[in-house]
Amino acid sequence: MENFNGIVSLFLVCIEVVLLINLLIFTEKNKVNNLIITIVVLLFSYQFMEFFMCYTESYSSQLVYGSFVIISFLPPLVLYLVITIREATSNFYKLIFLPAITLLVYYLFVVDGFVITSCTLLFASYEMPLGDLYGIVYYAPIIIATYLLYKMIKEPKYETKKVNLIIMLSGILLTFIPVALIIITFPVLLDYVESFFCKAASLIAITLTIYAMRNKNIIEDNNEWGNIKYIYRNWK
């Protein structure tokens, strides 16, 4: 019988390859867009790893640990992206990566605790040490990023970026709220939560790509003085 386990992951890999091609060719090269490219690369890498493990039935603890290394940096990267859009310059914000790094270093000593318990057409289920703590570390940056985006949308300072911010926030909400509701409604799916969320995170990849395509460092001032400054800066 043909093995189709992980085939949905392969489908998402193809989608994310298309997104990456568009990001690399059609977006302006700046710090925000580079972070978006990094996030999409990580999502692509995780989906490919899950497909590879499930399709080839390669269930080694090292491979499972490797896939968790990839996805562990996604939430802090999303939060760091939002902080970068806010134009915060303090290096202090880079500490948001510390909880994930600390857990991953600890996991190096208990790698054998990473196990794939099952693979299906849609999802993979995992067992790992300190799963509850990992969940807190994983989802906290996403919750903070959602709150910051909501605040930014309300602030006049970000009026010119409002549509882009709404697009980004929509991607996060459309990813996490439906999945959370499904997990609450069907607790049996809790074992698949990491895989479930990473599948749904393809929506974040799509909305981030749209954000990057629209994100250009163009000075947009609606008043006359703003237009004079724009002309002067370009003339220089």
Over its C-alpha atoms, the chain yields an Rg (Å, rounded) of: 20
The Cα 110–Cα 99 span in angstroms is 17
- Given this model, what pLDDT does residue 217 score? 62
- Given this model, what pLDDT does residue 208 score? 95
- Report whether 60 contacts 115 (CB < 8 A): no
Both tokens assigned to 233? 């800066």
- Given this model, what pLDDT does residue 74 score? 93
pLDDT tens-place values along the chain, 236 residues long: 466 788 888 889 999 999 999 999 999 989 999 999 999 999 999 999 998 888 888 889 999 999 999 999 999 999 999 999 998 777 788 889 999 999 999 999 999 999 888 888 878 888 888 888 888 898 899 999 999 999 999 999 998 899 999 999 999 999 888 888 887 887 777 777 778 788 888 899 999 999 999 987 644 444 444 443 443 444 44
- Report whether 49 contacts 124 (CB < 8 A): no
- Report whether 153 contacts 166 (CB < 8 A): yes
- Given this model, what pLDDT does residue 125 score? 84
**Dihedral pair phi/psi, residue 125, rounded to 5°:** -115, 145
Instruction: Break the chain into its structural domains and give their ranges.
Output: 7-235
- Given this model, what pLDDT does residue 224 score? 40
Query: What angle, 0 to 180 degrees and rounded to 10, lies between the N-to-C axes of helices 61-72 and 74-85?
Result: 10
- Report whether 212 contacts 25 (CB < 8 A): no
The answer for residues whose C-beta is within 8 angstroms of residue 197's C-beta and 6 or more apart is 175, 176, 179
Domain 7-235: top CATH class:
mainly alpha
The Cα 72–Cα 134 span in angstroms is 9
pTM of the model: 0.86
- Given this model, what pLDDT does residue 2 score? 62
